[in-house]
């Protein structure tokens, strides 16, 4: 199975399990590599209630060490999922020097002060212009790609999580974002968690995936696991989606350098 690089720890306050359990699940799934990428701290603190604090970074590093001690021959890669927020660039650059990371994932969870994928604020969708929300989301996503601060861009169409989609051809949102991603050289992820959300569809949509492949955007496949039982969840289905879009390989990361892994 391809590497699974998007996984969480209890430090994010909405995941369960210990390092040994996650590693055992990764080994049982036959993963090539296992990556740990919990939600990075954000400033000013406390920023929200679903990420670690800056003071908890040493505990996060200990978690990674425990995973490596339990892994045997399975490579354990170290990453973080960093939020793309207005003015975050200097903080991301500082974080990137805090540890010998193998990769950083960039994600858009916030539009202004609204963490739009948080079920706590689900009612706000009924008060919003969906077309406008999608416009703001994809503009932010393209800006994130253009920053070139990240190795992987997370769950590309997370904005669809609660099944709110504009009418008409969505290529008008996809194409400018894909152009920015392709120019940046970043990889995107095919994130299987979406199959277990209200949208009942992996991130991103097959159409986005096909356009991304045509534009030469590289791919990783990720579970976004928040429990050991979710590691590599739905990977066979994700591989089928990737192949249908034209992909025949994914990427591996080590110390922020990439190599190619076949999925054939």
1-23 confidence digits (pLDDT tens): 999 999 999 999 999 999 999 99
178-232 confidence digits (pLDDT tens): 999 999 999 999 999 999 999 999 999 999 999 999 999 999 999 999 999 999 9
51-96 confidence digits (pLDDT tens): 999 999 999 999 999 999 999 999 999 999 999 999 999 999 999 9
Beta-carbon contacts of 130 under 8 Å, excluding residues fewer than 6 positions away, are: 164, 165, 166
| pTM flag (> 0.95) | yes
Alpha helices in the chain (DSSP H): 19-29, 57-70, 89-96, 130-147, 171-184, 206-214, 235-245
Percent with pLDDT over 90 in the chain: 100
Q: Can you give the residue ranges of every domain in the chain?
A: 10-262
With beta carbons less than 8 A apart as the criterion, state whether 163 and 133 touch.
no
For domain 10-262, give the CATH number.
3.20.20.140
The radius of gyration computed from the CA coordinates of the chain, to the nearest angstrom, equals 17
Handedness of CA 73, 61, 197, 182 (dihedral sign): negative
């Amino acid at each position: 199975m391809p590497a699974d690089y998007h996984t969480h720890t209890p430090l994010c306050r909405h995941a369960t399990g210990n390092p040994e359990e996650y590693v055992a699940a990764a080994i049982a799934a036959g993963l090539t590599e296992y990556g740990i990428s919990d939600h990075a701290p954000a400033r000013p603190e406390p920023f929200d209630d679903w990420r670690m604090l800056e003071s908890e970074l040493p505990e996060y590093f200990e978690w990674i060490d425990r995973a490596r001690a339990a892994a045997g021959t399975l490579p354990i890669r170290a990453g973080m999922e960093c939020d793309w927020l207005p003015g975050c660039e200097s903080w991301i650059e500082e974080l990137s020097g805090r540890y010998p990371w193998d990769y950083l994932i960039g994600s858009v969870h916030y539009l202004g002060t609204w963490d739009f994928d948080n079920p706590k604020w689900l009612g706000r969708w009924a008060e919003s212009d969906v077309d406008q929300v999608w416009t703001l989301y994809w503009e932010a996503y393209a800006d994130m790609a253009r920053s070139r601060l990240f190795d992987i861009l997370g769950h590309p169409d997370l904005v669809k999580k609660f099944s709110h989609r504009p009418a008409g051809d969505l290529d008008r949102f996809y194409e400018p974002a894909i152009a920015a991603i392709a120019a940046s050289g970043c990889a995107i992820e095919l994130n299987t968690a979406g199959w277990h959300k209200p949208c009942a569809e992996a991130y991103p949509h097959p159409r986005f995936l096909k356009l991304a492949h045509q534009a030469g955007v590289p791919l990783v496949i990720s579970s976004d696991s928040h429990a050991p039982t979710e590691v590599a969840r739905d990977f066979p289905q994700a591989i089928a989606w990737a192949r249908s879009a034209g992909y025949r390989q994914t990427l591996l990361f080590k110390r922020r350098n990439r190599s190619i892994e076949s999925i054939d």
